[in-house]
């Protein structure tokens, strides 16, 4: 897909993936890359920003002699995700009307 992904939608993707389980950065990045054309250098700054804004918390766990940083969806992140979803529904409906199947 060659459409530039708005920051708020990338935020929504990250927050959604963390809704049901904590993930470490590499797995989270690869999961997003399976769906969207984004680089690691795009995802990691998003994770740092969302953590700085209080939407995510982090913790480190050892794995095979290294530390993995895990990301956890904070309550404020759940609230932000709900807002992003509301905005997405409105945006999606408008775009479906303009360029989707509903357009004539």
Cα 92 to Cα 23, 40, 85, 89, 102, distances in angstroms = 28, 27, 10, 5, 12
User: Which pLDDT value is given to residue 94?
Assistant: 93
Angle at 32 between CA 30 and CA 34, to 5 degrees: 70
Task: Give the orientation angle of helix 75-99 with respect to helix 7-17, to 10 degrees.
Answer: 130
The pLDDT assigned to 32 comes to 95
Q: Can you give the pLDDT of all 104 residues of the chain as single tens digits? A: 567 888 999 999 999 999 999 999 999 999 999 999 898 889 999 999 999 999 999 999 999 999 999 999 999 999 999 999 999 999 999 999 998 775 55
* Domain chopping of the chain, boundaries: 7-98
| Domain made up of 7-98: CATH architecture | Orthogonal Bundle (1.10)
- Please calculate the CA angle 15-88-1 and round it to the nearest 5 degrees: 80
CA 70 to chain centre: 14
Residue 36 CA to its chain's centroid (Å): 11
pLDDT score at 102: 58
């Amino acid at each position: 897909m060659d459409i530039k992904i708005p920051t708020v939608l990338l935020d929504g993707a990250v927050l959604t993936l963390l809704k049901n389980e904590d993930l470490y950065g590499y797995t989270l990045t690869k999961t997003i890359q399976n769906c969207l054309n984004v680089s690691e250098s795009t995802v990691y700054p998003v994770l740092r920003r969302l953590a700085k804004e209080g939407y995510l918390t982090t913790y480190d766990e050892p794995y095979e002699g290294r530390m993995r940083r895990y990301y956890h969806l904070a309550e404020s992140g759940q609230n932000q995700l709900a807002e992003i979803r509301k905005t997405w529904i409105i945006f999606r409906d408008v775009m479906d009307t303009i360029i989707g199947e509903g357009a004539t």
